[in-house]
Amino acid sequence: MNKLFSVFAFATSLMLVQQAVAQTSYAQPSAKTKKAAPAKSAVAAEKKALVEDDEEENKVPDISGSQATEYNCDHGNKVTFYEQPGDDAFVALRWNKQLLRMRRIATTTGAIRFESKRHGLVWIGIPSKSLLLDSKKGQQLANECKNLQQVLNLS
């Protein structure tokens, strides 16, 4: 009889634990408590902003009124960097007779980073030099790129 009572007590305890777990925040919310509509609209708004940014990146850059900085790189390579006053989000970069629009990417290291996902190019600038990478091929295109100010500060 004690064994039967123990099995019954265990089953009852297990059932109470399952009910308690079902009522905690770990349980799936019911259909009435789900708030999927605001989350979906927030996700849709974020996707729309990303699409608009991609379209902005794909525009042909207008370099009129830009401040141009010339970089001399290793192996005789040259890169020209165009910045529009008041536009910190995008720059134009001339490389191998192509003029590309590149988007600023925030970094935690203090390095300057611009990317063109469409072309697979990444420009990274640190105080002593800059370099241009091809992220699609995984290789450096230009290294030891220095503008006149960097050359004068290092001499």
* 3-class state of residue 51 by DSSP: helix
Residue 19: the pLDDT is 52
CA dist., res. 119 & res. 106, Å (int): 19
Buried b vs exposed e over 67-95: b needs ≥16 C-beta within 10 Å? eebebbbeeebebbbbebeeeeebbbbbb
Q: What would the mean pLDDT of 123-146 be, rounded to a whole number?
A: 95
| 91 half-sphere exposure, CB direction, 13 A CA radius | 22
Assess if CATH 2.40.128 describes domain 67-154: yes
Residue 153: the pLDDT is 83
First to last CA, the chain: 95
* 3-class state of residue 69 by DSSP: strand
Residue 114: the pLDDT is 96
Contact call for residues 65 and 133 (beta carbons, < 8 A): no
Joined tokens for residue 7: 């099995």
CA dist., res. 155 & res. 45, Å (int): 50
**Model pLDDT for residues 46-105, shown as the tens digit of each residue:** 555 555 555 666 677 888 899 999 999 999 999 999 999 988 899 999 999 899 999 999
Of the candidate ranges 3-7, 57-61, 90-94, 144-148, the one whose mean pLDDT is the lowest = 3-7
Q: How confident is the model at residue 155 (pLDDT cuts 50, 70, 90)?
A: low
| Residue ranges covered by each domain of the chain | 67-154
**Model pLDDT for residues 20-61, shown as the tens digit of each residue:** 444 444 444 455 555 555 566 766 665 555 555 556 666 778
